[in-house]
Amino acid sequence: MEAIGTLAGGIAHDFNNILSAILGFSQIVLDSLPPDSTVYAEQQQIIKASLRAKDLVQHLLIFSRKQEHQKSAVIIGHVMTEAIQLLRASLPSTINFEITLNHKTGIILADATQIHQVIINICTNAAHAMEMNGGTLSVSLDKRQFSERDQDKPVEIPPGEYACIIVSDTGKGIDPLHLRRIYEPFFTTKPTGKGTGMGLAVVHGIVTSHGGAIDVQTVIGQGTTFRIYFPLINMEATTEPKPESIPSGNKEHILIVDDEEAIAMFTSTMLKRNGYITTAISDSREALKIFKQNPETFDLLITDQTMPAMTGFELAKAVLAIRSDIPILLCTGFSSVVSGEKALQAGISDFIMKPITKQVLFQKVELLLRKNQQNPKGSL
């Protein structure tokens, strides 16, 4: 598990940097489009998918460290609708996609991103079973009530009311010798490069951790059906907070440092468009040199953590040694060396994980600048 954690950290860092560029430039493009255009809606889907990918990376890290997920009241029909929208775009034209969702199914206590992952993984697995000859992928959602006497009740779950997701394919079916192993990590019958063997293992782990159950029925040459059960709860769903207005800058000068030029570029572009002056540098040593030349000209430092020659943490300490009052925002795709607590103890104002949305970036910048104005150098 330690080795998996190390691997996950490396993947998270690189992948979050890639996601940062995708998300950042997508937001820049979105701002230049008419809100009522088709392209605007399509661009929003790219941003939404990027945020889902960000959440999945975080779940990979949590899985490797055996940490707890945050659960909330979720309308399962909404999560399924969103997942299905993403699936439609990726399925080949040889597969017929049939959807039957009861949107009055109800609410489950869950991590929405994990439920999304369950649906994507199961449906992707079903699509792979039909990639040679095509077929029909059927997805349905409805309520199921189980009592002690029900013969078809999955043995793993107690009596009660459940949301039941059914995913069926008309593929080749699963060999009985393989059926008992399908939830084992890294077990796969796919050719090299076609699968990792983690898809159904992750699904099983998520379903179990949510107090649910999963059942599979298969017929060779006819197809496979998965039934997934999540316990329903009696409470209101957690609603998304309404987006706050984005604060505008007042020509404050921000030094941006990131060895990924694309990230430095889009961060600079977004901040400039919102009323700030920026200096973007991709070399941390060069950034320190520029800061030393005129430290009073900068109002804020935004720096990446993992950079060659000089890390963001080292740069921050060097900058604070020159000017102790400057606010610093430390960003990272992943770091096992620096935590938020360690950063704050070193005098760094805030610590945030990439990728960062425009909304969060502007709010962080405005908050740090306002705090610094309220507590100028020399004040108690």
When pLDDT is cut at 50, 70 and 90, the band that residue 86 belongs to is: confident
When pLDDT is cut at 50, 70 and 90, the band that residue 113 belongs to is: confident
Indicate the domain borders of the chain.
69-240, 253-374
Looking at per-residue pLDDT, the higher value among 83 and 297 belongs to 297
User: What's the fold here for domain 69-240?
Assistant: Heat Shock Protein 90 (3.30.565)
Is the pLDDT assigned to residue 328 strictly greater than 80?
Answer: yes
Is the pLDDT assigned to residue 67 strictly greater than 50?
Answer: no
CATH topology match: 69-240 vs 253-374: no
When pLDDT is cut at 50, 70 and 90, the band that residue 153 belongs to is: confident
What pTM was computed for the model?
A: 0.55
Could you report the per-residue pLDDT of 186-230, keeping only the tens digit for each? Answer: 556 655 445 555 678 888 888 988 999 999 999 999 999 999 999
Cα 301 from chain centre: 26
Q: Specify the pLDDT at position 192.
A: 46
CATH classification for the domain delimited by 253-374, as one of 1.20.120.420, 3.20.20.70, 3.40.50.2300, 3.30.10.20:
3.40.50.2300
Is the pLDDT assigned to residue 331 strictly greater than 80?
Answer: yes
Mean pLDDT of 369-376: 76
Looking at per-residue pLDDT, the higher value among 57 and 196 belongs to 57
Q: Percentage of the chain surpassing pLDDT 90? A: 42
When pLDDT is cut at 50, 70 and 90, the band that residue 51 belongs to is: confident
Mean pLDDT of 150-174: 87
Most confident of 41-55, 60-74, 326-340, 357-371: 357-371
